[in-house]
Amino acid sequence: MSRRSGISSYLGDVADDTKEFVDSLLDRVSDLDRELRQAARRALDNQKDRDKRVADMRDEVRRLSRQLQELDDSGPDEGTGGGSESHSGISEQIDALRSEMRTLSKALEDFAARGPGSATSGKTST
């Protein structure tokens, strides 16, 4: 009988240890699952924020381009009060601003293309 109770005790200990191990493993898996979900949620939120910033920057580039075009279209007689020398200087500034706008627009598109799931669906034409 004592041999049997020794084996029964041993098997009971093995079963208890196995149960504790499985419980611990399930706890760790649960913690990992929760942490992965939180990380995925944060990444998705960050991507949405990034996409919104890119879209806002694109809108600003379009708005500035329109203002630049309106300034260029206004000609030498509107608001400058000057002759051809004054207009020539403004034209050079407008050309320089246009070049900077193209550079900014390209940099924005490059930035948008770099990120995972980047905001490439709303590309602007330059």
- Are the C-beta atoms of 119 and 54 separated by less than 8 Å? yes
pTM here is 0.45
pLDDT band at 4 (very low <50, low <70, confident <90, very high): low
Gap between the Cα atoms of 48 and 53, Å rounded: 9
Among residues 31, 49, 52, the alpha carbon closest in space to that of 41 is found at 49
What are the pLDDT digits (tens) for 61-117?
Answer: 888 888 888 777 776 554 444 445 556 677 777 788 888 888 888 888 888 787 655
Gap between the Cα atoms of 50 and 120, Å rounded: 12
Q: 3-class SS at 123? A: coil
**Residues found in the chain:** 126
- The domain spans of the chain are 2-114
